[in-house]
Chains A and B, each alone.
Chain A
Amino acid sequence: MEASFPTNATSKNKRVGVLRFLGTNCDLDTLKAFTALGCEARYLWWEDHFDPEDFDYLVLPGGFSHGDYLRSGAFAAQAPVCESLMKAIDQGVPTLGICNGFQILCELGALPGALVSNTSGRFKDFWVRVKSNSGATYKMPIAHGDGRYFLPPSQIDKLDTISWLTYEANPNGSFQDLAGVKNEKSTVFGLMPHPERAFHDWMGSSDGKKLLEEFLGV
């Protein structure tokens, strides 16, 4: 099986930028998780630009960026920090979007498709099992109202290349049970479950830690 993640990162002190918008609420959790993995993690404020050269990885955490008004992630995608983010993505800096971060990456067009309201019309929080295209399974929690992945018919031919994680039991009506997708170059990843909330066994699972380690190429 082909590995999902890029393995080009070899730097010992991995520099991780965590994007922070007004209303982001998993910022600290995400920062803590990457710090615990031995990275040098720091915040990137939504109004500021940054130099892509300064970071080995970029992470967009979950939350309700700018109140998720209009559409989940819509305002965040217009923030100045995203101009630098798109530059970094163009240069191939590995990027991960979790939950609201995934929604922002779709809004930016950095990932195909969109995330729309769960079929139940309600926010859902519970544990799910997802399977990656490399065959690994992970137990992680979801917590979202707009988590139904939608891929327009015009892009269906991309399905095989973008497919990354699928739910064992579809909780929200996602197209093809997709819980996470990647870009065609396998440098940008987005997922709805929260790996940082499955980091220690006492949380209920530590599979999320395993997933983040794989993202870092550990």
Chain B
Amino acid sequence: MSNTTIDSDLQEKLSKYGLSFEEYELMKLQLGKDSGKGSGKEPNQVEWAVYSALWSEHCSYKSSKVHLKKFACQKDEKTDLFDEGAGVVDLGQGEKITFKMESHNHPSFIEPFQGAATGVGGILRDIFSMGARPIGLANYLCFGDPKADRMSDLVDGVVRGLTHYGNCVGVPTLQGQTHFHEKYNGNILVNAFALGLIAKPEKLMTSIPQKSGLDILYAGAKTGRDGVHGASMASQSFDDDGPAQKTTVQIGDPYYEKCLIEACLEVMNAGLIHAVQDMGAAGVTSSSFEMAAKSGFGLDIHLDKVPLRDQTMGPEEILLSESQERMLFMVEPENVKAIQKIFAKWDLDAEVLGTVTDHQKVRLFFKNELLSEIDPHKLTEEAPAYNRPFDAFETKAFDKSSEFGSTKKLDEVYSQLPAVSRKWIYDQFDQRVGASTEKDCRFSIGVQRLPSGRSVGIALGCDPSLTDACPVWGSRLTYLVPSFSLAIKGFKTLALTDCLNFGNPQKTKVMGQFASSVDQLASLSHGFGTPVISGNVSLYNETDNENVPPTPAVGLVGLKSDQTHSIPEDCFQKSGDQVYLMSLDLCRYDYELKTGQAQVTKLTDGSVTYDIKALKLFSQFCLENSIHWSSSQVVEKLGLEYALSQSARKSRLSLKWSEEFKDQNVENKTKLKLGFMQILVSVKQQNLKSFTDAFEQFKKDHLEDESLKHLSLIQLGEVHESDEYVSLTGESYNATELTKKHETSWRKHFERLE
């Protein structure tokens, strides 16, 4: 800390703009160099606003970028990872996809409807600003205890916001996950995922202008006062004033977004656009400075040319407004008229704000007065970056005496939140607009048919009760569960996006959780050859010193090219099919049923060595053998008996335990207790031999492998026609009653939600 005393005037500014004193000094130095004053220059109001936005945690990733470098990823011929909002995966046959997941946590806690709605709007613009047509949405949500203050209204508001925006804009919601944990009582998480397709007539766009002399075109809805200072709000912890910060939340209109999608794709496909960037957090400011910094050119921007809803708005407000449904284009001057004509057809504005210049500065004007002249490179490249101190985490070693957790009584499990059907939520999403939905939110992965006839699958991951119990194992499973979920349905994982939601990075424990998660995800991404093509970090999810559990949510996308075999279902299909469990004792855990939750009480190493190479081979085996199965599922936290009963109650077929298995020794049965990775499959009768032969061959091929040596294939029994699921210990459960419990228990937790 410098010796300078901070006067109260400066203190007020620092807290208004969310900068530290050291950051203020650095800003002065940068501005001084720009204007030839080596000693530094006092920022004016516009400069305060620009630095505040671009140096916020939200825009600058200042606490996280040291770690995010670990994601730096292998470039191959299939993935194009240039410096854009998201990478692109080339699927061949003229089809490319791009996808991304982004958080909208802070605004959704303040104003759940608009917060969640604009989260969807923002992620969609990330996708279509690349020239892609959005073809699928998904969401990852974390709420607190349903009994907590405002929680029922937050759930209602978020779901209404997501559905209102997604349904109206006409992009199907294909998948979702909703978790409940009391550590989200003061900070809920709303992560929105979008998938886009670039196939004729769509063209891949860039955000980097290649020359000067281009016109800068503002396109879309008009700018209003909503969302001013949104980026800095989202970079701070809440105390007790969270819901009072409503004016910092943006207001969205999905109708304008739908028009904007069509207008943008029309001008892009017509070849009228040179470069484009969406206006997200910190609006005009971040989009223009980022485009300038990446290109090496300068920009002259006349802020008074921005179309306004309220003509009394000043330059600072215009710069920081996060009004929705807007884009920034760089275009050849002769194309402006044609673009304006297309935008007018879609009832949207398109105004020239200025030009791309050679002077390498961003110069902001208002009514011809030069307000500031900033070097965009220094601002972004020499932005503060912190290697914050952290506590490292390790896994708890395998202890031979440690028992596997045992599965709980099913009728108890079925009324707990983790087991309650999310039907109330997903029934409100339009899951089929686009007329290409193959598998909707009811299925373990979302599936969309491509024009080429191939299918893409979406799987989300991260169980916060596991990451809370052990950030290392929790983060590993965050990747492994969705990755296997795709493989067992016949989908080859192409790439992943992450949305890292954590607490206050200035706390060493939280920073340690963050570092562990990034380490684990990065090594899995490298080991599996799954590039991280996009990502987002949300820190300061903290209220009154209570931090959210580490929540590194991920979205994986996979491809199924061969349509001769149908996708294995989630539940049993046919009487006579044989039921098998593939089990690798990677880690063990136990949980308690407490206040509606399944709280994981311990999570430790299993008996086999954690080896990513072996896991990749196992996953490859699943992918290749999925053609033999009529159903498949990854056994998750609630255990095998729950997985079996789910499969049985949905199909009204059940498992007849094999006598042989029942008579087996205790050691084998122990494998049925709580642990990862367990894959449950039912094998088509005609494929039984090919499958078991393939398994034996696989084991033979990898005899030397320390982990795969312990991979076991256990025959549990046979599918038979029955309305009753009988557990291994002999309790009988009626399918209709389990379904009733599964579908009606929601009401017990959320009495007020119709």
Q: Which residues of A contact B (CB under 8 A)?
A: 22-23, 25-26, 28-29, 32-33, 62-64, 66-69, 120-126, 141, 143, 145, 194, 196-197, 199, 202-203
- Contacting pair A194 B432 (CB below 8 A): yes
- Assess A23 versus B168: contact at CB under 8 Å? Given A121-B754, A124-B427: yes
Contact, CB under 8 Å: B170 / A67: no
For residue A162, give the distance in angstroms from its CB to the closest CB of chain B: 27
Binds A, one of B46-54, B252-260, B532-540: B252-260
B611 lies within 8 A of chain A by Cβ = no
Least distance between B125 CB and chain A CB atoms (Å): 17
Interface string of B304-339 (1 = CB under 8 A from A): 000000000000000000000000000000000000
- Asked if B163 CB lies within 8 Å of chain A CBs, one says yes
Contact with A along B163-182 (1 / 0, CB 8 A): 11001111000000000000
Max chain A Cβ within 10 angstroms of own Cβ: one of B167, B253, B427, B433: B433
Q: Is the CB of B432 within 8 A of A67?
A: no
Q: Which of B168, B346, B429, B434 contacts A29 (CB 8 A)?
A: B434
17 pairs of residues in contact across A and B, judged by CB atoms under 8 Å: A22-B258, A22-B259, A26-B433, A26-B435, A29-B433, A29-B435, A32-B435, A63-B170, A64-B170, A69-B255, A120-B754, A125-B429, A126-B427, A197-B432, A202-B449, A203-B435, A203-B437
- Which chain A residue shows the least CB distance to B156? A122
Decide: A143 and B432 in contact? CB cutoff 8 A.
yes
* Cross-interface CB contact of B433 among A25, A32, A66, cutoff 8 Å: A25
B437 near A123 with CB under 8 A, answer no
* B428 CB within 8 Å of chain A: yes
B435 near A67 with CB under 8 A, answer: no
For window 640-663 of B, CB contacts with A under 8 Å fall at: none
- A124–B426 Cα gap in the complex (Å)? 9
With A32-B435, A203-B437, A203-B438 as contacts: A25 and B255 at CB distance below 8 Å:
no
A197 to B163, CA, bound (A): 19
Beyond A23-B255, A26-B170, list 14 extra A-B contacts (CB 8 Å): A23-B259, A25-B258, A26-B433, A33-B435, A64-B254, A64-B258, A67-B253, A120-B754, A123-B429, A123-B430, A124-B428, A125-B427, A194-B432, A203-B432
Residue B347 CB within 8 A of the other chain = yes
A196 and B436 alpha carbons, distance in the complex (Å): 10
Which residues of chain A have C-beta atoms less than 8 A from B168's C-beta?
23, 25, 64, 67-68
* In the complex, per-residue mask of B404-435: 1 if CB is within 8 Å of any chain A CB, else 0: 00000000000000000000000111111111
A64 near B438: Cβ-Cβ < 8 Å = no
A123 & B433 in contact (Cβ 8 Å cutoff)? no
* Total A-B pairs, Cβ < 8 A: 78
Q: Is the CB of A125 within 8 A of B438?
A: no
Q: What is the CB-to-nearest-CB distance from B182 to chain A, in angstroms, rounded to a whole number?
A: 27
The answer to whether B754 touches A202, judged by C-beta atoms less than 8 angstroms apart, is no
How far apart sit A78 and B754, CA to CA, in the bound complex (Å)?
Answer: 34
**Quick check: A125 and B430 within 8 Å, CB to CB?**
yes
- Measured as residues with beta carbon below 8 angstroms from the partner, the interface class of chain B is 20 to 34
For the complex, give the distance between the alpha carbons of A37 and B434 in Å: 17
Interface contact B449-A122, CB-CB below 8 Å: no
Closest approach, in angstroms, between the C-beta of A75 and any C-beta of chain B? 10
A67-B430 contact given A25-B170, A123-B167, A196-B435, CB 8 Å threshold: no
Please name all residues of chain A whose beta carbon is closer than 8 Å to the beta carbon of B167 when the two chains form the complex: 64, 123, 143, 145
Q: Decide yes or no: A199 and B428 within 8 Å by CB, A25-B169, A121-B754 being known contacts.
A: no
Residues in A neighbouring B428, C-beta threshold 8 A = 122-125
Q: A22-B346, A123-B430, A143-B430 are in contact. Are A197 and B437 (CB under 8 A)?
A: yes
Residue of A nearest to B432 (CB): A197
Q: What is the CA–CA distance of A124 and B432 in the complex, to the nearest angstrom? A: 12
A26 to B170: give the CA distance in the assembly, Å.
8
Task: Kindly identify, within residues 728 to 754 of chain B, every residue whose CB is under 8 Å from any CB belonging to chain A.
Answer: 754
Task: Please judge, given known A-B contacts A22-B347, A120-B754, whether A143 and B433 are in contact too, CB under 8 Å.
Answer: yes
**Distance of A59 Cα from B254 Cα, bound (Å):** 24
Measured between C-beta atoms, what is the minimum distance from B300 to chain A in Å?
33
Measured in the bound complex, the distance between the Cα atoms of B433 and A125 in whole Å is 10
Chain B residues contacting A32 (CB-CB under 8 Å) are 435
Provided the pairs A23-B168, A63-B170 are in contact, do residues A125 and B431 lie with their beta carbons within 8 angstroms? yes
List residues of chain A with CB within 8 A of the CB of B438: 202-203
User: What residues on B are CB-neighbors of A28 within 8 Å?
Assistant: 434
A199 touches B435 (CB 8 A): yes
Q: Give B132 Cβ to nearest chain A Cβ, in Å.
A: 15
When the two chains form their complex, are residues A66 and B255 in contact, meaning their CB atoms are under 8 A apart? yes
CB pair A122–B435 under 8 Å, yes or no, is no
* A197–B440 alpha-carbon span in the complex (Å): 12
Q: Chain A contacts of B427 at CB under 8 A? A: 124-126
A-B pairs, top 4 by smallest CB distance, nearest first, are A25-B170, A67-B255, A29-B435, A197-B432
What residues of B have a CB within 8 angstroms of the CB of A197 in the complex? 432-433, 435, 437
A182 to B412, CA, bound (A): 50
Distance of A75 Cα from B111 Cα, bound (Å): 29
A90 to chain B, nearest CB (A): 29
Chain B positions 333 through 352: 1 when the CB is less than 8 Å from some CB of chain A, otherwise 0: 00000000000001100000
Among residues of A, the one whose C-beta sits closest to the C-beta of B261 is A25
Task: Tell me if B754 and A122 are in contact (CB < 8 A).
Answer: yes
Of all chain A residues, which has the CB nearest B171?
A25
* Residue among A62, A120, A145 with the highest chain B CB neighbour number at 10 A: A145
What's the Cα separation between A64 and B164 when bound, in Å?
11
Interface residue from B169, B255, B433, B434 paired with A22 (Cβ < 8 Å): B255
